[in-house]
Amino acid sequence: MAVATVAALLAALGGALWLAARRFVGPSVQRLHGGGNSSLMHGKTVLITGANSGLGRATAAELLRLGARVIMGCRDRARAEEAAGQLRRELREAGGPEPGSDDGEAGELVVKELDLASLRSVRAFCQEMLQEEPRLDVLINNAGIFQCPYMKTEDGFEMQFGVNHLGHFLLTNLLLGLLKSSAPSRIVVVSSKLYKYGDINFEDLNSEQSYNKSFCYSRSKLANILFTRELARRLEGTNVTVNVLHPGIVRTNLGRHIHIPLLVKPLFNLVSWAFFKSPVEGAQTSVYLASSPEVEGVSGKYFGDCKEEELLPKAMDESVARKLWDISEVMVGLLK
């Protein structure tokens, strides 16, 4: 018994040391696209949804560093202003471009209110964008909600499908004119590998007959991919590209609806610290698709770790993609 306890303690200690070594010895951040060019995004305006937290915040930081003017589309103004203040401080400390300096609008951060769970908010946001912004070079559909209890959006849609797919569907459609007039321009969609476990069950898109929070998340992420592929088809010849990505597993606030007993939480934190990507690491594919000359003209593709990846046949089904587009148009009121 005593031998078994000592062996278990030694194994735990060894494991902890190995994890610590893995964190501290390896490179701190891998910028997979070698993004050291601090003027790559000068003169470009980028809109990022959900930019106050996690991947969106890290994507904003990286694109600011590359000289972009970044609009943060966020549902909570106070949280967004706090994140914007931190991002401005970090940029100053890193010696990046000062807003209002000779670099013009390089490094400028603008906060605008956008609640993707409200079609009214999406419409008001887009109206403000069209009135105030002369151009939009990159739209990053990043905001997301993961495995929440059954909830409905203001317009009566199941929350994960409503925010992750429908809100972004309306947003993108209402901004397409601005993106086209700013071409060459790009749309980047943040999906997840978990799309593999989803299906588009057209007969119950609001999950009123049954609700499974994992399935509904996966379905919304499959919808992101089908949307991207159908939009790429519709945008052929316009010089507006659209690509979709999975970021890997990343240490963010996305797991806020997962209940973990208090006593087990430290173990989860240790595991995520050791094995999950940091937000900056997770943001690299978004930044790559938003800025790299390597993907100029590339459209309708799926990426992970800055490389194109294959999709399951269900994510490439053109008839499902078209049907989802048509139904989404009706759901968000673009077509009566």
Ligand X SMILES: NC(=O)C1=CN([C@@H]2O[C@H](COP(=O)(O)OP(=O)(O)OC[C@H]3O[C@@H](n4cnc5c(N)ncnc54)[C@H](OP(=O)(O)O)[C@@H]3O)[C@@H](O)[C@H]2O)C=CC1
Ligand Y SMILES: CC1=C(/C=C/C(C)=C/C=C/C(C)=C/C=O)C(C)(C)CCC1
Smallest distance, ligand X to C-beta of residue 218, A: 10
**Sheet order of strands, 109-113 included:** 109-113, 69-74, 45-49, 138-141, 185-190, 240-245, 302-304, 307-308
Sole binder of ligand Y in the list 84, 178, 254, 331 (CB under 6 A): 254
Tokens of 274: 């050791």
Residue 154 · residue 118 · CB < 8 Å: yes
Report d(CA 333, CA 201) in Å as an integer: 20
Binding positions for ligand X, 72-91, rule CB under 6 A: 74-76, 79
Q: How many residues sit close enough to ligand X to count as binding (CB under 6 A)?
A: 30
Considering the complex, state which of residue 65 and residue 168 has its C-beta at the smaller distance from ligand X. 168
x-marked contacts with ligand X along 97-126 as a string, rule CB under 6 A: -----------------xxxx---------
Among residues 136, 119, 116, 104, the alpha carbon closest in space to that of 51 is found at 116
Smallest distance, ligand X to C-beta of residue 145, A: 5
Question: Which of 195, 217, 288, 302 is flagged as catalytic?
Answer: 217
Binding positions for ligand X, 187-246, rule CB under 6 A: 190, 192, 246
Nearest residue to ligand Y on Cβ basis:
255
| H-assigned helices in 94-202 | 119-132, 159-160, 168-181
244 CB-contact burial (10 Å; exposed 0-12 / middle 13-18 / buried 19+): buried
DSSP state of 138: E
19 counts as binding ligand Y under rule CB under 6 A = no
Smallest distance, ligand X to C-beta of residue 34, A: 23
Whether 288 is catalytic: no
Report d(CA 255, CA 272) in Å as an integer: 11
Report d(CA 213, CA 118) in Å as an integer: 20
258 counts as binding ligand Y under rule CB under 6 A = yes
Give contact residues for ligand Y (rule: CB under 6 A).
146, 192, 194, 249, 254-255, 258, 260, 265, 268-269, 272
Active site residues: 217
Instruction: Give me the residues that bind ligand X (CB under 6 A), please.
Output: 49-50, 52-56, 74-76, 79, 114-117, 142-146, 163, 190, 192, 246-247, 249-250, 252-254
